[in-house]
């Protein structure tokens, strides 16, 4: 269990975020078209998993927009934004912000992701949503970079995540 904060108040996650060097577990999530999507769909590519509570918050929106901009210039890298947002809402967000380099995936049908990756919030007002975290996976799904953002209202370390994916 990790302790993070929401506006300074302690909250907890179920487990701990994957560590650098760990093999990312397979997952099943729901894509914008309501189809089930697994990690294997992105085989052979590096992946940035931008995990957040909801695209309907300012910090989550900012992280999606910043990573979307940066990924446009990277070859063989896919940006996966993972949250509990309904696929319709995530798709609408991407369309309204002209985000073309992002794959939105929802945990709404597959909550095991939050447990398996150690990011589901277990208490406080955001219980059941994902914490803010970034994982960079290599083409073989090994964790190259991991950040559990300590304060939900704080942006992730973009430079460190992008440096890891460029290795």
Which of 60, 105, 143, 162 is labelled catalytic?
Answer: 60
**Backbone φ and ψ of 13, nearest 5°:** -110, 160
pLDDT in tens, 69-79: 999 999 999 99
CATH no. for residue 56?
A: 3.40.30.10
Give the H/E segment covering residue 94.
helix 87-96
Range of the domain at 150: 3-165
Burial class (CB in 10 A: 0-12, 13-18, 19+), 44: exposed
Active site residue 94: no
pTM: 0.95
- Quick check: 64 and 58 in contact, CB under 8 A? no
Mean pLDDT per 10-residue section of the chain, whose length is 167 residues: 94 95 97 96 97 92 95 95 95 94 96 96 96 98 98 96 95
Q: Number of structural domains, the chain?
A: 1
- Nearest CA to 137 out of 164, 159, 113 is that of 164
Contact, 61 vs 132, CB < 8 A? Answer: no
- Local structure of residue 111 (DSSP, 8 states): T
């Amino acid at each position: 269990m990790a302790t993070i904060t929401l506006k300074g108040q302690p909250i907890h996650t179920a487990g701990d975020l994957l560590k650098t060097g760990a093999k990312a577990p397979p997952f099943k999530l729901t894509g914008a078209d309501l189809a089930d999507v697994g990690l294997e769909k992105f085989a052979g590519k590096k992946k940035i998993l931008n995990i957040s509570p909801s695209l309907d918050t300012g910090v989550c929106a900012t992280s999606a927009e910043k990573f979307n901009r940066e990924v446009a210039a990277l070859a063989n890298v896919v940006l996966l934004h993972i949250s509990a947002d309904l696929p319709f809402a995530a798709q609408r967000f991407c369309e309204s912000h002209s985000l073309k380099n992002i794959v939105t995936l929802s945990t709404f049908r597959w909550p095991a992701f939050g447990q398996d990756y150690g990011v589901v919030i277990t208490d406080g007002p955001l219980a059941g949503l994902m914490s803010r975290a970034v994982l960079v996976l290599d083409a073989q799904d090994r964790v190259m970079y991991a950040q559990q953002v300590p304060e939900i209202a704080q942006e992730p370390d973009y430079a460190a995540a992008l440096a890891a994916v460029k290795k």
